[in-house]
Structure 1
Amino acid sequence: MRIVGVIPAAGKGERLLPYSVEKEMFPVGFHKGKPKPVSQYLVERMAFSGVKNIFMIINHTKVSLMKYYKSGKWLGLNIIYVYQDEPLGMGDALCALLPWVKDEIVVMGMPDTIFEPFNAFSVLIKFYNQSTSDLVLGLFEVSDPSKYGMIELDENYNVICHVDKPQGSTLRWCWGIACWGPRFSQFIQSICENQGKKFKEFTFGHLIDLGMNCGLIIKGVKFEGGRYIDLGTSEGISEAIALYSQQI
Structure 2
Amino acid sequence: METVGLIPAAGLGSRLDPIPCSKELFPVGFGLHPAQGEPHPKVVSQYLLEHMQRAGVRKVYMILRKGKWDIPAYFGDGSQLQLQLAYLLMQHPYGTPFTLDAAFEFVQNKRVVFGFPDILFSPEDAFSRLLDRLSETKADVVLGCFPVTSPQKWDMVALAGNGEVKTILQKPKESQLLYGWALACWSPAFTEFMHAELQQALERWGGSDQPFELSLGEVVQAAIYSGLTVQSVRFDNGSCLDVGTPGDLRQAMKSLI
TM-score (normalised: structure 2): 0.91
* Alpha-carbon distance in 1 for matches of 2:248, 2:191: 31
Whether 1:158 and 2:164 are equivalent positions in the alignment is yes
Range with bigger deviation, 191-200 or 129-138: 191-200
Structure 1 counterpart SS, 2:247: helix
Q: Report the count of equivalent residues.
A: 245
* Alpha-carbon distance in 1 for matches of 2:116, 2:234: 17
Whether 1:210 and 2:222 are equivalent positions in the alignment is yes
* Alpha-carbon distance in 1 for matches of 2:179, 2:15: 22
1:43-62 equivalences under 5 Å are 43-62=49-68
Q: Deviations over 1:199-245 (max 9, x none)?
A: 61122022112111111101111101100010111221122112212
Tell me what 2:94 maps to: 88
Tell me what 2:111 maps to: 105
Q: Deviations over 1:107-126 (max 9, x none)?
A: 00000111000110000001
Range with bigger deviation, 158-167 or 28-37: 28-37
Whether 1:182 and 2:188 are equivalent positions in the alignment is yes
Structure 2 counterpart SS, 1:45: helix
* Alpha-carbon distance in 2 for matches of 1:27, 1:142: 24
Q: Is the 8 A contact 1:11 1:87 kept in 2?
A: no
Q: Identity percentage over the alignment?
A: 36
Q: Is the 8 A contact 1:59 1:86 kept in 2?
A: no
Tell me what 2:5 maps to: 5
Structure 1 counterpart SS, 2:137: coil
Q: In the TM superposition, what is the alpha-carbon distance from 1:196 to its structure 2 partner?
A: 4.4
* Alpha-carbon distance in 2 for matches of 1:26, 1:197: 37
Q: State the one-letter code of the partner of 2:5.
A: G
* Alpha-carbon distance in 1 for matches of 2:130, 2:213: 27
Q: Is the 8 A contact 1:135 1:218 kept in 2?
A: yes
* Alpha-carbon distance in 2 for matches of 1:124, 1:154: 17
Q: In the TM superposition, what is the alpha-carbon distance from 1:85 to its structure 2 partner?
A: 3.5
Structure 2 counterpart SS, 1:15: helix
Change (3 A) 1:20 1:172: farther
Structure 2 counterpart SS, 1:62: coil
Tell me what 2:208 maps to: none
Q: In the TM superposition, what is the alpha-carbon distance from 1:195 to its structure 2 partner?
A: 2.2
Change (3 A) 1:20 1:89: farther
Q: State the one-letter code of the partner of 2:248.
A: G
Q: In the TM superposition, what is the alpha-carbon distance from 1:185 to its structure 2 partner?
A: 1.1
Q: In the TM superposition, what is the alpha-carbon distance from 1:149 to its structure 2 partner?
A: 0.7
Equivalent in 137, 142, 158 of residue 143 of structure 2? 137
* Alpha-carbon distance in 2 for matches of 1:15, 1:157: 33
Query: Which stretches of structure 1, 4 residues or longer, exceed 4 Å deviation after superposition?
Result: 196-199
Q: Is the 8 A contact 2:15 2:246 kept in 1?
A: no
Structure 2 counterpart SS, 1:79: strand
Q: Is the 8 A contact 1:55 1:80 kept in 2?
A: yes
Query: Where does the alignment leave 5 or more consecutive residues of structure 1 unmatched?
Result: none
Change (3 A) 1:198 1:139: farther
RMSD value, Cα = 1.4
Query: Where does the alignment leave 5 or more consecutive residues of structure 2 unmatched?
Result: 34-38, 206-211
TM-score (normalised: structure 1): 0.95
Tell me what 1:233 maps to: 245
Q: In the TM superposition, what is the alpha-carbon distance from 1:61 to its structure 2 partner?
A: 2.9
* Alpha-carbon distance in 2 for matches of 1:46, 1:227: 17
Tell me what 1:168 maps to: 174
* Alpha-carbon distance in 1 for matches of 2:91, 2:101: 12
